[in-house]
Each structure stands twice: as C-alpha cells, then as structure tokens.
Amino acid sequence: MSLLDFPYGGHCRCGALRIEISAPPVLTAACHCRGCQRMSASAFSLTAMVPAKAFRVVEGEPVKGGMHGPTLDHYFCANCKSWVFTRIVGFDVFVNVRPTMFDDPKWSEPFIETMARDKLPWVTVPAKHSYEGFPTLEDLPRLMDAFSAQRGVSEA
C-alpha cells in the first residue's frame, strides 16, 4: 500500500461517526479478554494500532462507553453505539481503531493475540505471537518491527 492510498476512511454501523487514518497501522491484534468479548458481543475484539497523530474523527461526535476509564476510554457512535476506537490513558501516542470499521477491513488480520488465557475453547486466530496477558511496553518495538516487515512483504 502506498502513501497515495491515504487518508483511509471508515465509519460506524450507521455512518454518523466517520474516521480516517493518514498512516498505516503499526500493529494489529485480537484481544480475547472477557471485557472485549462482552463489549464486542463476539469471541474477541480486533485492533489496529494507529499513530495518534495519523488518526482523526472527520464526522460525528464520539461518546465514551465501555468502562469509562480509568485506564481506557472506549469511544462509540452516539447513534448506533458501534465501538469504533479506544484511547489508552497515559499511552496517547497510539489510538486503537477497530479495523472492521474501515471501508476495506484489510487490517483486520491479527498479528498478535492478547489475553489468550480467556480465549474461548473453539477459537483459533492466525496471530504470529500469542500472549496469555498483554505484551509489555518493552515488547512493542520488536513486534512493530516484525509487523511492518511482514506488511512490506504482503503488500509488495
């Protein structure tokens, strides 16, 4: 994917909340935690970690939902209540966008999986790296390097 393909758009179920990103995700993930199972009404949530400065809301007013802090702020469409993105308090260089919101959900394949200890017994995801909990901040640069290396190959 070239930079000419950006900005790249997405929206919630009803279309009232529109987002765009101006750079590719640095990492993709599936989270199997019980919170994500409940909030996504599914087996796991999907995340595309995007540099915060490359993310913006272009239409609509996102509202907080989910846990309303203190460590995470989950943002939803006020009308259809789709969970569109998450900001992690104290880790504001990235925004976790739900990749199924993108017009073409090309970044939905998870490179890592987190909270595998809560994974439902029938679930298999093609993640290259599996964590029983979450990767540490020290793990992230290595994971991002590996992710961008494989992205270069798959999109060449």
Shortest distance, position 90 Cβ to Zn ion, whole Å: 17
Which DSSP state fits 54? G
- Cα–Cα distance for residue pair 48/151, rounded to 1 Å: 13
Shortest distance, position 16 Cβ to Zn ion, whole Å: 4
List Cβ<8 Å contacts ≥24 apart for 146-155.
146/111, 147/26, 147/27, 147/28, 147/111, 148/26, 150/111, 151/24, 155/1
Record the tokens describing residue 50, joined without a space.
Answer: 């995007």
CB nearer Zn ion, residue 79 or residue 130: 79
CB nearer Zn ion, residue 54 or residue 77: 77
Alpha helices by DSSP H, listed for the chain, are 34-40, 140-154
Shortest distance, position 108 Cβ to Zn ion, whole Å: 16
> Which residues of the chain form contacts with Zn ion (CB under 5 A)?
12, 14, 16, 31, 33, 36, 77, 79-80
Q: Beta strands 72-76 and 63-65: pairing type? A: antiparallel
Record the tokens describing residue 135, joined without a space.
Answer: 């990767």
CB nearer Zn ion, residue 70 or residue 149: 70
Shortest distance, position 30 Cβ to Zn ion, whole Å: 9
CB nearer Zn ion, residue 36 or residue 95: 36
